[in-house]
Amino acid sequence: MRKRVVMVMMAVLMGAGATAAMAQGSKCADCHFANPDAPRRGHMSDWDRSAHGRQNIGCEKCHGGNATSFEKLVAHKGILSPGDRKSPVHRANLPTTCGSCHAGQLMEFQKTRHFQLLKTDDKRGPTCATCHSDVGDTLLSPKALESQCNACHGPGKAAPRPERAKNARAMLESVREARQLLKQSRDMIKQVKDPQRKAKLTQDAEMVALELKFAVEAGHAFVYDGLQDRVSRARTKLTALFDSLTNPTAGGAVKPVRGVPAPWTAQAQQR
Ligand code: HEC
Ligand code: HEC
Ligand code: HEC
Ligand code: HEC
Ligand code: HEC
């Protein structure tokens, strides 16, 4: 945020000619930060802090328009109000807009009843922003996910099926647990001296990370067979990874880091 303000101030001080020298990135943000009349200040600071802001995914990637111009009329050409059914950020169009970069999530989401509801302009279902906020800067915790499902599937709500919320929470917890183990395995890999062994183990850890990425994508079907399948593959790979880390015959045992559950360390000791 500070960097952006400084850039805008420099442009103001140096006159209009300086605009071309400003960041290569989106000019939308520069004007919107500088212009007190521009709507939704909170949205801008959310964007600035988000993974999107950090990776220079500019306003135009979701809203359209011409991000190279500092002339409002030119910049805004083609931009529709979000309430317009044709706007790329209209709730019914968000899956496709976000999905242009998050194809895995879109693919799963398209299979769902939730997606059908959006396509038929039935307002009872969720869209991407329901769980990720408008700029995609939110990742729900398992507990928050449970509440989110329950907002619609809780008793007395639009589509009461409270077990769905509970199940969703358990599923996300299983992903987080596996992520925690992955982190611990990576801490152990750091202690491995032999470069060849280390490279192999690092690669194995990457494979676990990939399974977990696919698990989260599959979770966007909101029925969780796909996710469960991926998590169990991740766990199988983690078991093998811990086994090879703690097995003395494979080039020296690595001291388990605190918190690694007993089965893995015990398995190695039985050998
Ligand atoms: C030169 C300043 C300036 C630039 C550049 C600019 N905007 Fe704006 N924008 C504004 C102002 C001021 C408003 C408030 C409404 C108005 O005056 O049109 C606004 C309004 C908007 C709105 C609300 C429109 C509505 O109908 O509700 C959106 C969305 C928007 N801008 C997105 C963008 C995007 C995306 C870009 C870049 C492609 C961009 N803006 C570039 C100044 C700017
Ligand atoms: C990741 C996608 C995404 C990005 C990036 C993004 N926005 Fe938005 N924006 C949205 C969504 C979604 C909404 C809310 C739509 C709704 O109200 O249903 C929204 C709403 C707005 C509005 C409110 C318009 C109105 O009339 O209420 C403005 C203005 C706006 N965005 C400007 C910006 C600007 C400026 C940037 C860059 C700093 C930006 N947005 C970046 C997705 C995005
Ligand atoms: C132009 C491509 C693009 C678009 C459009 C886009 N994203 Fe992203 N998104 C990214 C990139 C790049 C990242 C950062 C990935 C990383 O850091 O590993 C990201 C990260 C995320 C994250 C992870 C956030 C975190 O804190 O880790 C979420 C959630 C997300 N996007 C949701 C959305 C949603 C919802 C939309 C639509 C409203 C959207 N994205 C639109 C490219 C995009
Ligand atoms: C009902 C809630 C919900 C909806 C709707 C939803 N997501 Fe998610 N999304 C989640 C949860 C939960 C996670 C996993 C959070 C975590 O990793 O801890 C997630 C993770 C993500 C990530 C981050 C993946 C990563 O590896 O960091 C992206 C990107 C994403 N979702 C995009 C989308 C897109 C695009 C849509 C719309 C098509 C969407 N989501 C709809 C709940 C939702
Ligand atoms: C914004 C409201 C909303 C949220 C949030 C929401 N749902 Fe739904 N969901 C609905 C509605 C409405 C339906 C359709 C009910 C109907 O067909 O009558 C539905 C349908 C479903 C279905 C399909 C059932 C079928 O008949 O095919 C599943 C599964 C589901 N939701 C799971 C979840 C899970 C799990 C979560 C949380 C991760 C969640 N939903 C979050 C509103 C929501």
Residue nearest atom 24 of ligand 1, based on CA coordinates: 81
Find out whether the beta carbon of 227 lies less than 6 Å from any atom of ligand 5: no
| Ligand 5 centroid to residue 93 C-alpha, Å | 18
Give the nearest ligand 4 atom to 114 CA.
Answer: 5
Tokens of 180: 């925690």
Tokens of 260: 């690694």
Dist. CA 67–CA 25, nearest whole Å: 8
Residue nearest atom 33 of ligand 3, based on CA coordinates: 136
pLDDT for 59 equals 96
Dist. CA 207–CA 20, nearest whole Å: 44
| Ligand 2 centroid to residue 259 C-alpha, Å | 42
Ligand with an atom nearest the CA of residue 97: 3
Contacts 24+ apart (CB under 8 A), 112-117: 112/220, 112/221, 112/222, 114/222
Neighbours of 37 (CB within 10 A): 5
∠109-60-123 over CA atoms, to 5°?
A: 40
Ligand 4 interacting residues, C-beta cut-off 6 A: 95, 98-99, 102, 105-106, 109, 126, 128, 130-132, 139-140, 145, 148, 172, 213, 216, 220
Tokens of 223: 């029925």
Residue nearest atom 39 of ligand 2, based on CA coordinates: 59
Are 98 and 136 in contact by the 8 Å Cβ rule? The answer is yes
Give the nearest ligand 1 atom to 71 CA.
Answer: 1
Counting ligand 4 atoms within 8 A of each CB, the residue from 108, 220, 230 with the most, and so the one to mutate, is: 220
Find out whether the beta carbon of 41 lies less than 6 Å from any atom of ligand 1: no
Dist. CA 189–CA 242, nearest whole Å: 10
Q: Is the pTM of this model over 0.85?
A: yes
Find out whether the beta carbon of 38 lies less than 6 Å from any atom of ligand 1: yes
pLDDT for 21 equals 31
Are 32 and 48 in contact by the 8 Å Cβ rule? The answer is no
DSSP calls for the chain: -HHHHHHHHHHHHH-GGGGGGS-SS-HHHHHHHH-TTSS-HHHHHHHHHSHHHHTT--THHHH-S-TT--SHHHHTTT---TTSTTSTTSTTTHHHHHHTT-HHHHHHHTTSHHHHHHHTT-TTS--HHHHHTTTT-----HHHHHHHHHHHHSTTSSS--HHHHHHHHHHHHHHHHHHHHHHHHHHHHTT---HHHHHHHHHHHHHHHHHHHHHHHHGGGSS-HHHHHHHHHHHHHHHHHHHHHH-GGGTSPPPPPTT--HHHHHHHHH-
Residue nearest atom 6 of ligand 4, based on CA coordinates: 128
Residue-by-residue pLDDT tens, the chain, 271 positions: 445 544 544 444 443 333 333 344 789 999 999 988 888 889 999 999 999 999 999 999 999 999 999 999 999 999 999 999 999 999 999 999 999 999 999 999 999 999 999 999 999 999 999 999 999 999 999 999 999 999 999 999 999 999 999 999 999 999 999 999 999 999 999 999 999 999 999 999 999 999 999 999 999 999 999 999 999 999 999 999 999 998 867 666 777 666 665 555 444 444 3
Can you give the C-alpha Rg of the chain in angstroms? Answer: 24
Dist. CA 245–CA 264, nearest whole Å: 10
